Structure 1
């Protein structure tokens, strides 16, 4: 059974999750102002969750015969998550909005994973992408609620 598309979408996820984790880490470091005391530790939780998904998908890629990208250069070249050098002048709401944007992209990328794994009949990886998509969608809802936005994927 060919798993070429599944391997490709898993590697895309490896790069995207790595870069999304770096973005969340950046927000964690550069937060200032109202909400700091609750948002700073929340960013730790988000990094842990992203890294757990990253590890699971990377190990699945290896399990099915693939080779995960593993360098900062590869992450940057392959990922579609936007990450710019941080500055101190950005508002907390803008930082959280950047995280929401990255998470919405991840949800879309995980849907691509669902489509590829469905096409190639890989139920195990499909379940992993389904769980990952559910987790990031919940985080989108929570972060948008923090921003005063109504839920609406």
Structure 2
């Protein structure tokens, strides 16, 4: 196994998931609008799922001998996700922001899943599971855009 290549894919995934979880929680706290309650709960669910996935990805990296780095500075420097706005965010804007972030992560995850098929089936399987869950979340948020 090419530990460096597989580990890099896991590290990139860890960065994206860590940022996605932080963004979902930030939006959860600052959400306003008529759909507050349902979105507030939906964002909590997304945060929990993404945090759990990030932990599994980091533990897989350690398992193969690659040191994961989930430090705030690393995530801030390396994440491809756009920043969420500060202050209160209207519910419609929250949905659009989450869909955009999920689409970015899912697109990048799909490329890694394809690449890992040739490198490490166990890591590939892990990312397939993460991708399946996040694609479902994207569908549920996207449905709210109308």
Shorter-chain TM band: over 0.9
The within-5 A match list for 1:5-16 is 5-16=5-16
Corresponding position: 1:127 with 2:136: no
Contact 1:6 1:113 in 2 (8 A): no
Matches of 1:33 and 1:94, distance apart in 2: 10
Q: Which 4+ runs in 1 deviate beyond 6 A?
A: none
Corresponding position: 1:35 with 2:46: no
Contact 1:5 1:116 in 2 (8 A): no
Matches of 1:60 and 1:37, distance apart in 2: 35
Q: CA deviation at 1:85?
A: 4.4
Report the secondary structure of 1:119's partner residue: coil
Contact 1:17 1:54 in 2 (8 A): yes
Report the secondary structure of 2:99's partner residue: helix
Aligned length: 146
Corresponding position: 1:54 with 2:49: no
Provide TM-score, normalisation by structure 2.
Answer: 0.94
Match of residue 114 from structure 1: 113
Corresponding position: 1:147 with 2:132: no
Contact 2:20 2:101 in 1 (8 A): yes
Report the secondary structure of 2:32's partner residue: coil
Contact 2:18 2:70 in 1 (8 A): no
Report the secondary structure of 1:80's partner residue: coil
Matches of 1:7 and 1:142, distance apart in 2: 31
Alignment root-mean-square deviation, CA: 1.2
